[in-house]
Structure 1
Amino acid sequence: MASKISTELLILILNNVQSTQDLYSSLLVNRIWCKVTIPILWVLPLGQECCINDKKKALCIRTYISCLDTQARTLLSQNGFDLSSSPPQSIFDYPSFAHKLKIDNLVYFISIYSPQISSQQIIDSYENFHNYSDLIGSILKLSDAPKVFIKLESFTSMIGDYELICPLYESLLLTCDNILNIDFKLNSNSQIQLLEKLISVQKCLENLSIVVNTRTECLSLLNFISKKETLKKLRLKKVNFYHLRGKSSPIGQFISLRELYIEDCFGLHESDSLFFASSFPQLSSFYFRHKYYRYPQEFIIRIFKRTNTKLRKIYLNSYTTDTFLAILNYCTNIIKLTLHNLRPEHVIAVFNNNFNELRRFSFDCYCEEGINADKLLCQMAENVPNSLETIIIKMDYDNPWIFSTDSLRKFFEEWCCKGEGGNKKPRRLRIKRSLKSNNSSFSPLNMIAISSEHFKIIEEYGIQFDIKE
């Protein structure tokens, strides 16, 4: 039966398989399935997250070495590698499938796979980058490197030392010009210059993520990337905007940017940063995470004003009354809204604001007197948007919601049937637990007073219900 599936359809199916174990199983079906599955599996090793004790993933180095030509194998032998377990032959050209590269993974896996270089190979692996930087840079300069890396789509480097990564950057500049996703950690102005050069040669860069040492000034880089017309998504973490003091609008307009992620950045509360908030005229998604003492209220409001009804997705881990009112006033076409520490009256305000396109609303609710869940559910029911498909409520273990079956039924009646001529629409309700319990007998169901009668109502209205950590 499997042999009757066309190769094109099989590729589409297996590309959507999430389980690595299932992909390994598909290798055993027949030769065609094996030939299709191998490239999908070998996209993963250097592009996925790894942990400090992940020895199995490091075995990919053994296979990669088997694929190298005589020149490359000689280079490795001269640098102290024992190649006896990697004979010079392989069935597939495995390196050509590596379209995603986290250089940290490559360095880390080499350190685990080659114990001759470090006696404490796992514990000290991240301290031995200097043993491999020239080696990796040399590998990328080999004659076969362009054939492998010309297809590179994603590149990540969290190595902060300029001297260590310089050979690598120089090699990539000559090899890769079609990278879609770049994720970098920047510790110096020299690194910024290298990154600018790498970005400048990319023809279709869409996603850029930058984590910055707070002492490093990267405003010139921001001005540089604002001119990258292909850029659609930008993530800035720990950028120090205090460097904007006294400067007159050094950052250009990100006219093509659609998604902006700002995490734990400094100095956005200052007036010199406000013009930066006006640099995103086409923004459709805004993610903001803040944990420092000066909340940049005016900066956030300026973004809402500038993008206005174009803004469709918002995530704020904290807010003020004024920023909340700005969402209600300017972002009326919102489809996905996530807000933390909402007061009950603000939850009701979201439902009363005629967000006619809102599909997903995620929130946790705070009240010093505790949450009157019955009252809140009944008030939510009065103006629940017809478009709303998913509600995610994050609950604290110490303040569970307690609601009756009557209030739950009333809410579901309005949510599922309103405007549909009595026909019930499938909806999704998720409860997220915000605090772990040390009690071994703890169950997520303990967070809410829920009984078999509640579950009957949930089933009656066809609600997709789940409780998650």
Structure 2
Amino acid sequence: MPRQLPADCLNEIFEHLEKDKATLHSCLLVNRLWCEVTVRILWRNIWIINPVDYVDYSRRLKVGTSILNTLIACLPNKSKTHLLEKGILNSTHISKTPLFNYASFCKVLSIHMIGQMIIDVFKNQKYLAKEIMKMFMETVSLKKLSYYTSSKTINLSFLRYPGAKGCLTNLSKLSCNSNVKSAFFYKLSQICCNIQSLTIEFNGTISSDLKNLISSQNNLKHLSLSRTRTHSTADWADIIPSLAKHSNSLIRLKVHWRKYNYWNKTEQLSFITTFTNLQELILSFHHKDCFAGLNSKLLDITFPQLQILKFLYEYPEDYVLSKFLENNGKNLKEFYINCSNTISAIAEFCPNLKFLSTLFRFDKIESLKTVLNNCQQLESIDTQYYYGLLSEKELLGTLAKYSPKNFHKLKVRYYSYSQLVPEDLEEFFINWENRVSQRSISLVFRGCMNSFGAKEENMGIIKKYRELGIIKKFELK
């Protein structure tokens, strides 16, 4: 008789599948023990929904109905009776007895998604929302709370429900609008003092007690600030002193900023340079002018612990970025920039890179060689292909000949038709096979399905070298 793995071993394995809902659902059906272990992971965060399901109303309705029916089944009898008397539930709803108390497994709560589900399924039943939130407050110890308000969000004054303090005391992640009612931030600041990850979307105004909530945290490590709405005129000046209080503890900062002609104030962004212990810095600026109030600061600032640097859209002036990399590039492990002008600075000042996302112009092949020769820890490159950039043949040929021994992954995003011919592709794999490191390559090609994938000869070569073990992974999207 085969032996059963103990629950703690199964839990360790299934933890790696947390975002793979389909596989976890299959694990539920194996036996009772697998079901008991898996269901806790599945229900830890029930808000991880396929984006396709969320956009498609009929599919969203199906998912929302399933989640709500399960939560309703978990309601205490008193709540079910109350909702039956209000005409919201019927006898079928209240007669269901769940196999588990699924709600108690939840560690993540999304207020706006609960509100949207109730609107979709029950057409705005505030009584149902109230009873569900009471159940959460009384039975759950939350780790993450997401609270975004909109015209469709049901008003849920859940912080005054019994058990709210016990439910939220151990909260470690909070995502919210800046214009949530001030009373919410005030009450939360009295309950939660150990939020480590805070995401704020600045929308219209800033509640007066938001800065008090920020100041009251003891060990804030991750901060994400976003000002993207066209109608947002929120002024960050009032909360900058509260943010600066966490200059020693903060290790990850993301700032998403759109500039508008009628309201600029990019000088407010200079607060970024107060967080000198950052390990990860992500700047998502949609306009070059967003760096106007920051360029002079970046010339001299030093982040001794910085390992990950991302410019998701625009980036500083070339001379500013070059100086910044001179001061901070030595410890960088990952660097993202949508630019080809800084290759020489990367090669010179970032010797310990493991991951690089950038562009390579058709006339910069020597710069690519220099990067590969100087960055001997490099393992992966993410780049693009379109007119004016390095051809696929030159890119692959250079990697096969010059890439360091640990290099093993290439991702290319296509904005032009693939020009790779079978002879060039096979030459690359032959050269890769003859490398000293003998490490298999992973290739991810996105946006070229109709040009690369349609060539039977190319796909035949891919199949051949996968079977030989030269290709570890191949994705074509």
Tell me the TM-score normalized by structure 1. Answer: 0.77
Task: Give the letter aligned to residue 225 of structure 1.
Answer: L
Is 1:426 equivalent to 2:446 in the alignment? no
Deviation at 1:380, TM superposition (A): 4.0
Task: Give the letter aligned to residue 329 of structure 1.
Answer: E
Which residues in structure 2 correspond to 1:322-361 (within 5 Å)? 323-340=342-359, 342-353=360-371, 354=373, 355-361=375-381
Deviation at 1:274, TM superposition (A): 3.0
Is the 8 Å Cα contact of residues 374 and 403 (structure 1) preserved in structure 2?
no
Is the 8 Å Cα contact of residues 373 and 402 (structure 1) preserved in structure 2?
no
Tell me how far apart the structure 2 counterparts of residues 288 and 116 of structure 1 sit (CA, whole Å). 41
Task: Give the letter aligned to residue 312 of structure 2.
Answer: R
Is the 8 Å Cα contact of residues 100 and 154 (structure 1) preserved in structure 2?
no
User: Relative to structure 1, is the Cα distance of residues 19 and 271 closer, same or farther in structure 2, using a 3 angstrom cutoff?
Assistant: closer
Is 1:102 equivalent to 2:110 in the alignment? yes
Deviation at 1:464, TM superposition (A): 2.5
Tell me how far apart the structure 1 counterparts of residues 313 and 77 of structure 2 sit (CA, whole Å). 52
Tell me how far apart the structure 1 counterparts of residues 369 and 446 of structure 2 sit (CA, whole Å). 20
User: Relative to structure 1, is the Cα distance of residues 19 and 380 closer, same or farther in structure 2, using a 3 angstrom cutoff?
Assistant: closer
User: Relative to structure 1, is the Cα distance of residues 65 and 140 closer, same or farther in structure 2, using a 3 angstrom cutoff?
Assistant: farther
Is 1:290 equivalent to 2:313 in the alignment? yes
Give the SS at the match of 2:357: strand
My pick for the range that moved more, 61-70 or 330-339, is 61-70
User: Relative to structure 1, is the Cα distance of residues 464 and 70 closer, same or farther in structure 2, using a 3 angstrom cutoff?
Assistant: closer
Deviation at 1:403, TM superposition (A): 5.8
Structure 2 counterpart of 1:199, from 211, 214, 239? 214
Is the 8 Å Cα contact of residues 384 and 414 (structure 1) preserved in structure 2?
no
Deviation at 1:307, TM superposition (A): 1.6
Task: Give the letter aligned to residue 190 of structure 1.
Answer: I
Which residues in structure 2 correspond to 1:112-123 (within 5 Å)? 112-115=120-123, 117=125
Is the 8 Å Cα contact of residues 257 and 290 (structure 2) preserved in structure 1?
no
Q: Which residue of 2 aligns with 1:35?
A: 36
My pick for the range that moved more, 81-90 or 302-311, is 81-90
Q: Which residue of 1 aligns with 2:235?
A: 217
Q: Which residue of 2 aligns with 1:121?
A: none
Structure 2 counterpart of 1:169, from 142, 163, 185? 185
Q: Which residue of 1 aligns with 2:165?
A: 146
Is 1:312 equivalent to 2:318 in the alignment? no
Q: Which residue of 2 aligns with 1:268?
A: 290
Is the 8 Å Cα contact of residues 452 and 458 (structure 2) preserved in structure 1?
no
Q: Which residue of 2 aligns with 1:26?
A: 27
What are structure 2's unaligned runs of at least 5 residues?
Answer: 127-148
Tell me how far apart the structure 1 counterparts of residues 463 and 30 of structure 2 sit (CA, whole Å). 42
Is the 8 Å Cα contact of residues 302 and 328 (structure 2) preserved in structure 1?
no
Give the SS at the match of 2:123: coil
Deviation at 1:335, TM superposition (A): 0.5
Deviation at 1:209, TM superposition (A): 2.1
Q: Which residue of 2 aligns with 1:439?
A: none
Give the SS at the match of 2:254: strand
Structure 2 counterpart of 1:301, from 300, 303, 322? 322
Structure 1 counterpart of 2:199, from 183, 198, 202? 183
Tell me how far apart the structure 1 counterparts of residues 87 and 351 of structure 2 sit (CA, whole Å). 61
Could you say what the CA RMSD is over the residues aligned between the two structures, in angstroms?
3.9
Tell me how far apart the structure 2 counterparts of residues 301 and 19 of structure 1 sit (CA, whole Å). 41
Segments ≥4 residues shifted beyond 6 Å: 70-78
Deviation at 1:364, TM superposition (A): 1.8
User: Relative to structure 1, is the Cα distance of residues 74 and 308 closer, same or farther in structure 2, using a 3 angstrom cutoff?
Assistant: farther
Which residues in structure 2 correspond to 1:39-58 (within 5 Å)? 39-46=40-47, 48=49, 51-52=54-55, 53=57, 54-58=60-64
Tell me how far apart the structure 2 counterparts of residues 302 and 216 of structure 1 sit (CA, whole Å). 32
My pick for the range that moved more, 81-90 or 223-232, is 81-90
Is the 8 Å Cα contact of residues 175 and 199 (structure 2) preserved in structure 1?
yes
Task: Give the letter aligned to residue 107 of structure 1.
Answer: G
C-alpha distance after superposition, 1:5-47 (max 9, x if no partner):
2121121122222432433343344443333222212112245
Is the 8 Å Cα contact of residues 237 and 262 (structure 1) preserved in structure 2?
yes
C-alpha distance after superposition, 1:168-190 (max 9, x if no partner):
43443344344443333112452
Matched residue count: 435
Tell me how far apart the structure 2 counterparts of residues 104 and 171 of structure 1 sit (CA, whole Å). 19
Q: Which residue of 1 aligns with 2:454?
A: 446
Tell me how far apart the structure 2 counterparts of residues 447 and 194 of structure 1 sit (CA, whole Å). 60
Is the 8 Å Cα contact of residues 208 and 234 (structure 1) preserved in structure 2?
yes
Tell me how far apart the structure 2 counterparts of residues 447 and 204 of structure 1 sit (CA, whole Å). 54
Tell me how far apart the structure 2 counterparts of residues 168 and 5 of structure 1 sit (CA, whole Å). 45
User: Relative to structure 1, is the Cα distance of residues 425 and 90 closer, same or farther in structure 2, using a 3 angstrom cutoff?
Assistant: closer
Is the 8 Å Cα contact of residues 418 and 451 (structure 2) preserved in structure 1?
no
Q: Which residue of 2 aligns with 1:5?
A: 5
My pick for the range that moved more, 40-49 or 329-338, is 40-49
Tell me the TM-score normalized by structure 2. Answer: 0.76
C-alpha distance after superposition, 1:378-412 (max 9, x if no partner):
4444322212111223333435233625x743x44
Deviation at 1:344, TM superposition (A): 3.0
Deviation at 1:97, TM superposition (A): 2.6
C-alpha distance after superposition, 1:171-213 (max 9, x if no partner):
433443444433331124524x544333334444433222214
User: Relative to structure 1, is the Cα distance of residues 443 and 404 closer, same or farther in structure 2, using a 3 angstrom cutoff?
Assistant: closer
Deviation at 1:310, TM superposition (A): 1.0
Is the 8 Å Cα contact of residues 372 and 402 (structure 1) preserved in structure 2?
no
C-alpha distance after superposition, 1:244-281 (max 9, x if no partner):
44x89655521332112221355333255431572644
Give the SS at the match of 1:319: coil
Structure 2 counterpart of 1:464, from 452, 457, 472? 472
What are structure 1's unaligned runs of at least 5 residues?
Answer: 119-124, 437-441
Give the SS at the match of 2:46: coil
Q: Percent identity?
A: 20
Q: Which residue of 2 aligns with 1:128?
A: 152
User: Relative to structure 1, is the Cα distance of residues 168 and 271 closer, same or farther in structure 2, using a 3 angstrom cutoff?
Assistant: closer
Tell me how far apart the structure 1 counterparts of residues 62 and 447 of structure 2 sit (CA, whole Å). 33
C-alpha distance after superposition, 1:74-94 (max 9, x if no partner):
99799x782443569766443
User: Relative to structure 1, is the Cα distance of residues 453 and 426 closer, same or farther in structure 2, using a 3 angstrom cutoff?
Assistant: closer
